[in-house]
Amino acid sequence: MEVKIEKLDDFGRGICYIDNKVTFVPNTIPNDLVEIKITKEFKNYNEGKLINILIPSKKRIEPKCPYFSKCGGCVLQNMNYKDTLEYKKEKVTNIFKKNKLEINPIVIENANYYNYRNKISLKVIDKKIGYYEPKSHSIVEIDSCLVASNSINKTIQLIKKMNIINGLVTIRCNKNDEILIIINSKDKLNIDVDSIKEKIKLVGIVINNKLFYGEDFLYENINGIFYKISYDSFFQVNPYIASKIFDIIKENINSNETVLDIYSGVGTLSLTASTVAKKVIGIEIVENAVLNAIHNAKINKINNVGFLLNDATKAITKLNLFFDKVIVDPPRAGLTKTVIDTIKKIKPKEIIYVSCDPQTLVRDIKLLSDLYIINKFYIADMFSFSYHVESVCILKINNI
Ligand SMILES: C[S@@+](CC[C@H](N)C(=O)[O-])C[C@H]1O[C@@H](n2cnc3c(N)ncnc32)[C@H](O)[C@@H]1O
């Protein structure tokens, strides 16, 4: 059947209407005239499959990745980069509009929208190494990933020789192309460190949470601050966008201010804020990340920060301190009710909310909206060509 794609849903799937019933068609973009086949019919919607592009949208480009449409990752690779940014801006603005909140986001482009990722995780099933197909546990085998850094792609070839039958492999790198390999597998592995070292700048290999070779951490430098990052510590996957977000943090902190950084990881936002603020406290649940953060303060000669190892919800209720600014950068699930209620009791002048999920962001902002209004809103293209969006929202206390 022939249809015109009207828009994209929040997961980057094309939407058309068949007898007024919404129909989702992956791998299509607005204004494509396409032939589709209905694959599943539900009460309120259909799912369809692209059969043929009859007249392509002006926004359409040829995806560079050979695994596009098979791999569930970069669903927007068939769209002009600038148009993917427009889509993300519109998507977040609409999510807020549906919640009766108005935003006008400033969009921060990714300078390198291919080969930008410093970390990927690959599934291994029956010796097949790759990503999951969308909505499935079948593997799309890959030789390289277009959004991963070149040094990671070189490493994929070496992983293939390690005789992993089933497991999970995470490859991390820094801007100097140093590589850390993290393997979880019960198999008897065949790892020839010397031959790996001939091909990549191998820093370490961790197998089943135990150090197998070298170091179990990497160093990265963003905006002049050095970060030690343990194999299990979180770090932003896109160093260019991370540096832009750190700039925003710095711009929004004043001297003499006290800052609470909840979900502080290896201390990135805390240390960035500390270059301006009077005092910063970070809260983080992963032990190695807190140890990294303490170490990072030391090596950067920063002595106005402290870090607490605890669950944010537990730690925040015990703090009993006033802060001028609160930074939050939670996982996708967003903030807990206790964290929100306690921030409201602290009543900072501003909350800087860094979020990787606009749905939980808007939910939390609504819960804060009796005391706070949105002052600035940024969308940073951390995850180019995927439908994911990183947002930074500056909320200021409503004194009226
Ligand atoms: C999105 S990351 C942000 C880290 C850091 N702000 C950065 O930019 O690198 C979220 C962090 O929250 C931590 N985390 C997850 N759940 C937590 C909890 N319940 N309490 C405290 N920290 C938590 C994770 O370990 C991770 O380091």
Q: Which of 235, 285, 388 to mutate to test the pocket of ligand 1 (most atoms within 8 A of CB)?
A: 285
Question: pTM of the full predicted structure?
Answer: 0.96
- pLDDT number for residue 136: 84
- pLDDT > 80? residue 284: yes
- pLDDT number for residue 137: 85
| Closest residue by CA, ligand 1 atom 12 | 263
Enumerate the H helices of the chain as residue ranges. 81-98, 150-159, 193-199, 239-251, 268-274, 287-299, 312-319, 337-346, 358-368
Q: 286 in ligand 1 pocket by Cβ < 6 Å?
A: yes
- pLDDT > 70? residue 27: yes
- 3-state DSSP assignment of residue 291: helix
On whether the CB atoms of residues 114 and 142 are closer than 8 A, the answer is no
User: pLDDT of 72-92, one tens digit each?
Assistant: 889 999 999 999 999 999 999
Q: Which of 234, 339, 342 to mutate to test the pocket of ligand 1 (most atoms within 8 A of CB)?
A: 234
Distance 285 CA to ligand 1 centre (A): 7
| Closest residue by CA, ligand 1 atom 11 | 263
User: pLDDT of 345-386, one tens digit each?
Assistant: 999 999 999 999 999 999 999 999 999 999 999 999 999 999
- pLDDT number for residue 400: 64
User: pLDDT of 224-266, one tens digit each?
Assistant: 999 999 999 999 999 999 999 999 999 999 999 999 999 999 9
Mean pLDDT for the chain overall: 96
The rounded percent of the chain whose pLDDT value lies above 90 is 96
| Closest residue by CA, ligand 1 atom 4 | 265
- pLDDT > 90? residue 120: yes
* Whole-number Å distance between alpha carbons of 160 and 167: 12
Q: What are phi and psi of 388, to 5 degrees?
A: -75, 150
Task: Sort strands 325-328 and 258-262 into parallel, antiparallel or unpaired.
Answer: parallel
- pLDDT > 90? residue 12: yes
* Whole-number Å distance between alpha carbons of 31 and 48: 16
Q: 283 in ligand 1 pocket by Cβ < 6 Å?
A: yes
* Whole-number Å distance between alpha carbons of 57 and 31: 5
- pLDDT > 80? residue 30: yes
- pLDDT number for residue 74: 94
- Ligand 1 atom, smallest distance to 235 CA: 9
Length of the chain: 400
Q: 285 in ligand 1 pocket by Cβ < 6 Å?
A: yes
- pLDDT number for residue 399: 78
Task: Give residue 44's pLDDT band: very low, low, confident or very high (50, 70, 90).
Answer: very high
Among 287, 244, 279, residue whose Cα is nearest residue 382 = 244
The number of C-alpha atoms within 13 Å of 93 and in the hemisphere containing its C-beta is 11
Distance 239 CA to ligand 1 centre (A): 17
Q: Could you tell me the domains of the chain?
A: 1-59 (2.40.50.140), 97-111+238-397 (3.40.50.150), 119-216 (2.40.50.1070)
Among 158, 163, 182, 183, residue whose Cα is nearest residue 172 = 182
Distance 283 CA to ligand 1 centre (A): 8
Q: 311 in ligand 1 pocket by Cβ < 6 Å?
A: yes
Distance 332 CA to ligand 1 centre (A): 10
Q: 248 in ligand 1 pocket by Cβ < 6 Å?
A: no
Tokens of 184: 């979880």
- pLDDT number for residue 235: 98
CA angle 115, 118, 122 (to 5 degrees): 90
Q: Which residues are catalytic?
A: 356
Task: Sort strands 139-141 and 119-125 into parallel, antiparallel or unpaired.
Answer: unpaired
- pLDDT > 90? residue 321: no
Q: What are phi and psi of 386, to 5 degrees?
A: -95, 170
Distance 111 CA to ligand 1 centre (A): 26
On whether the CB atoms of residues 151 and 173 are closer than 8 A, the answer is yes
Q: 265 in ligand 1 pocket by Cβ < 6 Å?
A: yes
209 burial type by CB count under 10 A (0-12 exposed, 13-18 middle, 19+ buried): exposed
* Residues sharing a CB contact under 8 Å with residue 186, sequence separation 6 or more, in sequence order: 166, 167
